[in-house]
């Protein structure tokens, strides 16, 4: 937990003047008969009883879509701000069974046996309950979860504080959509004495005035989605308590 407290202290000085991507406004759901496979995707033929429930931002960009058969949820696909698929979730009897994590290659993560776990207003699906320090071992690394004080997750000061706290190199950062919340994802590179490591950290602003931190570290440095597929599956299944 010591690293988290260093990070929380550093991020307390973040400034909200500069953002690298931000969206405002409520998400709207409409039903369609189909959704294109283009990037960005486009809904096709709006129908009151359409098979696809499409959730869009005010500017028309799709946050995610759900495929239903009657009252049964079959699939859900989450998108990046650029309209690129991030994850496709397959359901069995209303529960997630497989998360297909999209990257240069698609990695399927079986989640049917995962357990429900919560931290404050955040509901998780995890391979197993984390340790007392909210640390979870994954097939190729570790996953750390924490709640901290409210921060501007988009500020350059936040980026600099994160980089300083972890002693790592920032490879990439982007805005991401998680259960209707605009969050920030940082891709990090750690130089080790024996082997280099890849990390991804998600910073999610919550309605409670807190910030959710999810940090994944893998044992290999590569662009292959398999290295952090478990962490990305966890993020794709997140849900938040929302005020009415």
Condensed to tens digits (0 to 9), the pLDDT of residues 57-98 reads 888 889 999 999 999 999 999 998 888 899 999 999 989 999
Tokens of 71: 């009252």
Specify the range with the lowest mean pLDDT, choosing from 68-77, 84-93, 100-109, 195-204.
Answer: 195-204
175, part of any domain: yes
Here the CATH number for the domain that contains residue 151 is 3.40.1000.10
* Angle formed at CA 125 by CA 199 and CA 120, multiple of 5 degrees: 85
Confidence class of residue 24 from pLDDT cuts 50, 70 and 90?
low
Q: Are 232 and 89 in contact, with CB atoms under 8 Å apart?
A: no
Instruction: Between 225 and 162, name the one with better pLDDT.
Output: 162
Residue 226 lies in a domain: yes
- Tell me, yes or no, whether 63 lies in a domain: no
In a domain, 103, yes or no: no
With respect to residue 121, please indicate whether it lies within any of the assigned structural domains. yes
Least confident of 19-28, 51-60, 197-206, 214-223: 19-28
Can you tell me which residue has the tokens 């190199």? 169
What pLDDT shows up at residue 43? 94
* Number of domains composing the chain: 1
Contact 45, 105 (CB under 8 A): no
Q: What ranges make up the beta strands (E) of 93-224?
A: 95-101, 107-110, 115-119, 122-126, 135-138, 141-149, 169-178, 181-190, 197-205, 210-218
The torsion region of residue 17 among left (phi > 0), alpha (psi -120 to 50) and beta comes to alpha
Q: What percent of the chain has pLDDT over 90?
A: 48
Does any domain span residue 68?
no
Highest mean pLDDT, choosing among 12-16, 148-152, 218-222: 148-152
How would DSSP label each residue in 40-65? S--EEEE-TT-SEEEEE-TTS-EEEE
Question: What would the mean pLDDT of 196-223 be, rounded to a whole number?
Answer: 81
* Residue 140 falls inside a structural domain: yes
Domain range for 227 is 2-21+114-240
Indicate the pLDDT class of residue 204, thresholds 50, 70 and 90. Answer: very high
The pLDDT of 3-26, averaged and rounded, is 44
Residue 82 lies in a domain: no
Residue 169's pLDDT band, with cuts at 50, 70 and 90, is confident
Q: b/e map of 162-197 (b: 16 or more CB within 10 Å)?
A: beebbebeeeebebbbbbebbbbbbbbebeeeeeeb
């Amino acid at each position: 937990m010591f690293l988290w407290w260093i990070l929380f202290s550093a991020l307390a000085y973040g400034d909200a003047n500069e953002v690298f991507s931000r969206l405002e406004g409520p998400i709207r759901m409409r039903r369609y008969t189909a959704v294109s496979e283009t990037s960005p995707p486009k809904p096709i033929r709006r129908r009151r009883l359409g098979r696809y429930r499409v959730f869009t931002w005010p500017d028309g960009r799709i946050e995610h879509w759900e495929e239903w058969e009657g009252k049964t949820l079959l699939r859900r696909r989450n998108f990046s701000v650029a309209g690129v698929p991030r994850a496709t979730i397959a359901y069995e009897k209303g529960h997630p069974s497989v998360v297909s994590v999209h990257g240069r290659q698609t990695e399927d993560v079986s989640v049917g046996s995962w357990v429900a776990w919560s931290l404050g207003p955040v509901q998780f699906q995890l391979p197993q309950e984390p340790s007392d320090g909210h640390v979870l071992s994954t097939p190729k690394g570790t996953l750390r979860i924490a709640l901290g004080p409210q921060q501007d997750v988009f500020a350059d000061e936040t980026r600099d504080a994160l980089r300083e706290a972890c002693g790592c190199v920032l490879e990439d950062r982007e805005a991401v959509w998680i259960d209707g919340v605009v969050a920030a994802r940082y891709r990090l590179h750690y130089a080790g004495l024996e082997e280099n490591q890849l990390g991804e950290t998600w910073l999610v602003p919550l309605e409670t005035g807190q910030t959710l931190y999810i940090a994944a570290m893998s044992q290999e440095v590569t662009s292959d989605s398999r290295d952090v597929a478990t962490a990305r599956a966890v993020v794709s299944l997140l849900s938040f308590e929302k005020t009415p």
